Amino acid sequence: MELSTALIFISFTVLCASYAWGMRGAVIGGEKGAMLPGAFIGLVFGWFSGYGILTTAAAGLMGMTFGGTETYGETIGFALHRGREDYNPRKGYTGLAFKGALWFSVCGAFLGIALSRGIYSSTEIFVFCLLIPVMQILGQLIFNRPCKPSENKFPKFYFSKTRREEWGGNLLMLIVLVVMAVVKVDYFTLMLVSGGFVFGAIGWLIGMKAFVLSALPLKDGKYLFGKWFEKGVIDGWKLMEFILGAFGGFGLSLAYIFGYGYIEKYRMISVESVDERITRVSPLICFVCAIGIVAINLISFVCDKKDKKVNSYILDFIERIFYNVIPMALVLIGEEFSAKFMTVFMLVFVCCVKCALDRFEKSKLLPIGQIMSLVVCSIVFAFCFTDYCSPFVIVLCGVVPYLVAELVWAMWENKMRGKNVKHLMSATAFATVYPCFVVMCVMIIAASIKFFNV
């Protein structure tokens, strides 16, 4: 790869990852929010590899969701709560670096497998994907138990105060992925794992340090951003997310460049054609997955409304099978419709579900919003049956609904607090964060028009 091409590739990946990670923390959060940065990184990787753009975008989307199980709010508190009883920066930074390393390395592994598809048979991929839930449960039992805060019983390696941690499942799965890549002599995947591991850790360390410097006073008692911080227009959390995404994207793209020669070799390996029976039933499977996600979210929504207790961990675990395990098996063997479903549809779908069942639940217009969300999702699902799904469409799906939803939410929340637009622009982080989002979106769309020959 020529130097100029490599620099463009890295720059575009960093831009996309930084924007998507920042937006992930704004709109959705959790595993489903992590779909956005994963999809955008996979999109750029697929474009530069010259084949399988939808497949790599979908693999990146699902690969990044696993890290969303790693709760990190209390871990951040260890480094941020200066002067409080729980202040323990060493534990905080160590935990964040470790979780960041797992988050991006797991995503790198699935991106590597998607780009090295000829090395792995369909049977191997199906077996591995079916074992993902087993690895997740087993890893948590090994590394994240016991966890009984009421009895003061915690795992040996524990980076929270009271929350249940689930990073053990990702650690065990990463170990299995690495072993599988070694056995299959898949150096490219191992390089992506290494890049994601190192820079995922570095990204969170630097991002968290920037958060601390922006939120806490320096030695002289002043703040890094001075009056801007005092007015509340600096969002340290968002600054951290932008930096984390940028470093994670940089690490994966750098590893991609160093391993680019292997992709050229993989092109010469014959790839299994997808069984026609799988191709025929794939739309039905995807539809069932979408219904399953909606059903689980509705159960949670109704239970919250009626103040009924529901085991969120069990619901989350079942939901992951619908948006991760089953589609992952289809995508990694190269099934085309599932790749469209997990990019074009899913990016819009999770945004609509979040708005329709969570964010605007106190709005009088919620029923109208829910109907509109259902109509939009139905149209997008039907669109997946056409030949018009393209990389640029994925970009639009990851930019337009997210940016609009976030802007509307910020305006609505400000109004609910009895504030006016002047307050929103002068006394909140809206004045700094959202211009960044808009500029990033414009740059990504402009670059996509150029790169994808729109």
Measure CA of the first residue to CA of the last residue in the chain; give whole Å. Answer: 24
pLDDT tens digits, residue range 176-204? 999 999 999 999 999 999 999 999 999 99
pTM of structure: 0.94
Q: Quick: pLDDT tens for 96-150.
A: 999 999 999 999 999 999 998 789 999 999 999 999 999 999 999 999 999 988 8
Angstrom distance (rounded) from CA 376 to CA 345: 10
- pLDDT, residue 56, reads 94
**pLDDT over 90 (residue 430):** no
Q: For the chain, how many structural domains are there in total? A: 1
Rounded Cα–Cα distance for residues 184 and 178 (Å): 10
The helix or strand, by DSSP H or E, that contains position 265, with its residue range, turns out to be helix 260-266
* DSSP sequence for 379-431: HHHHHTTSS---HHHHHHHHHHHHHHHHHHHHHHHHHHTT--HHHHHHSSTHH
- Maximum CA extent, the chain: 69
The arithmetic mean of pLDDT across residues 251-265, rounded, is 90
Q: Give the tokens for residue 319.
A: 């939901």
Q: What is the pLDDT of residue 398?
A: 94
Structural domain boundaries, residue 348: 3-451
pLDDT tens digits, 15-71: 999 999 999 878 888 899 999 999 999 999 998 887 678 999 999 999 999 999 999
Place of tokens 């990852």: 17
Q: Which residue has the higher pLDDT, 213 or 11?
A: 11
Answer yes or no: is pLDDT of 167 > 80.
yes
DSSP 112-180: HHHHTGGGS-HHHHHHHHHHHHHHHHHHHHHHS---BGGGTB--SS--SSSSPP-HHHHHHHHHHHHHH
Residue 199 token pair: 């820079």
The answer to whether the peptide bond before residue 146 is cis (omega within 30 degrees of 0) is yes
Q: How many residues does the chain have?
A: 454
Indicate whether 377 pLDDT > 80: yes
